[in-house]
Amino acid sequence: MSAAISSRKIYCFDTSAFVTLSRTDENIIQIPGALWELLEKMMQNGEVISHKLVFEEISSNSKKPDFITKWVMDKERFFINRTQTQLDSIPKIVSNFPGLIDPLREHEQADIWLIALAVERAQDNPLFGGNTAIVVSQENPNSSKKIPAACNFLGIKHMSLREFFDEIGLGVELIKR
């Protein structure tokens, strides 16, 4: 009897996904407390990850912390540091998508590193079916210069929060105030 080898899904969250989750505008999803608990559990299980630079982008607002800044502060351990494997992916990403970096910004930007993290995670565990790394962001999927285009080019799946919710079976509805 042989066991089926299946791929493990790992969702790599961009800053835009976390920020959108925390908004309470009337046109944005309002998230019930149970969903925040589910996201934390998925982080503990390694199903939802992000890059340390995403953590830094979110937590840099610590002088006047908003909801998402407060929420991530005790979750830094779920945000992955740079690795040599990620660094090896950077030249290919930047040469094909130079618009992912704004040279005028003072701080290092997370987008290329998040994509490199997804590439790295997709390569992990090849003997056991590998992983399916999925980048979750709220960036325009039709832009030729943003995260979705780079993911497509590199063979990494990209999805919006709505698609993420549908995929994990939540079907979260837009709730207006």
The pLDDT of 50-60, averaged and rounded, is 93
In the chain, alpha helices (H) = 15-22, 33-44, 52-59, 67-72, 84-96, 111-123, 147-154, 161-167
Contact 35, 71 (CB under 8 A): no
Coil/strand/helix, residue 113:
helix
Q: Output the furthest CA–CA distance in the chain (Å, rounded).
A: 58
Q: What is the pTM (predicted TM-score) of this model?
A: 0.85
Residue 4 has pLDDT above 50, yes or no: no
The pLDDT tens digits of the residues spanning 72-94 come to 999 999 999 999 999 999 999 99
Angle between helices 52-59 and 111-123 (to 10 degrees): 150
The pLDDT of 36-60, averaged and rounded, is 93
Q: What is the pLDDT of residue 114?
A: 97
* Assigned CATH topology for domain 8-167: Rossmann fold (3.40.50)
Q: What is the pLDDT of residue 98?
A: 92
The mean of the pLDDT values for the chain is: 84
Angular region, 7: left φ>0, alpha ψ -120 to 50, beta rest: beta
Q: Which residue has the tokens 């837009």?
A: 174
What letter would DSSP give residue 140? Answer: -
Tokens of 76: 């830094």
Domain boundaries, the chain: 8-167
Higher pLDDT, 144 or 158: 158
Q: What is the pLDDT of residue 26?
A: 42
Higher pLDDT, 103 or 6: 103
Q: What is the pLDDT of residue 6?
A: 57
